[in-house]
Amino acid sequence: MRVLVPFRNSKKVAPYLDALRSAGAEPVPFLTEKPVELDGIAGLLLMGGTDINPARYRETPVPETDEPDDERDAIELDAINHAIEKDLPILAICRGLQLLNVYHGGTLTQHLGSPRHDVESEDKGAPAHEVQIDAGTALAKALGRTRVRVNSRHHQAVAHFGAGLVVSARDPADGTVEGMERADKRFVVGVQWHPEDQVSKQPEQLRLFQYFVEQLHS
């Protein structure tokens, strides 16, 4: 089954493609410089990257916020809209989760200022902290557990939740949102960590991609 993977930086897309292939999907990388086409596509994966323009959630940027990439924001928001309309499964990672929240009308904390969440490490898959997952959520079913050690490299996070989204995971130490989803769709799940960098060492992270791929067939 073919999964669209919009990307901006070709040097960062490989781990996402490899994780999807390991889970049995056919990734379709898509450079965000033209409108998205979802014909023949079974699902959407939103990857990490630069900060979303705060104007998208009615705020002005703080000094720590990245320069906006309005073209990428617009193309990926359009991709979310089409996937939601078609009820295609969506797996949203890091920036992807944040964009999913903004699409639904939510807001972001523009700078956490927390070394706990913005970890500098040569090993991008190294666990940084634990995440508590709500039992009965799609994320808990996908991972097969309610606690998991995750890597972490984000300086922004969900503030106010978007309409229709529920929080499925948090950092138990400080309450930072680590997972969100829509219960009324086949599979719309976002995670704040980077499971694509953990699939080779943590089986539950591979299971997340496998569960996502299973939903493409449902």
CB 43 within 8 A of CB 89: yes
Is residue 94 part of the annotated active site? The answer reads yes
User: Active site residue: 59, 160, 196, 217, which one?
Assistant: 196
Q: Nearest to residue 101, comparing CAs of 35, 37, 173, 156?
A: 156
> Which residues are within 8 A (CB) of 66 and not within 5 positions of it... i.e. 6 or more apart?
50, 51
Distance CA(131)–CA(145), nearest Å, equals 11
Q: Which listed residue (94, 117, 129, 181) is catalytic?
A: 94
CA distance 35 to 29: 14
Q: Residue 155: CB partners within 8 Å, gap ≥ 6?
A: 64, 111, 112, 113, 114, 117, 118
196: annotated active-site residue: yes
Q: What is the sign of the dihedral through the CA atoms of 65, 59, 83 and 79?
A: negative
For residue 136, CA distances in Å to 29, 89, 193 come to 32, 18, 20
Q: Which pair of structure tokens corresponds to residue 181?
A: 């989803």
Hey, which residues are catalytic here? 94, 194, 196
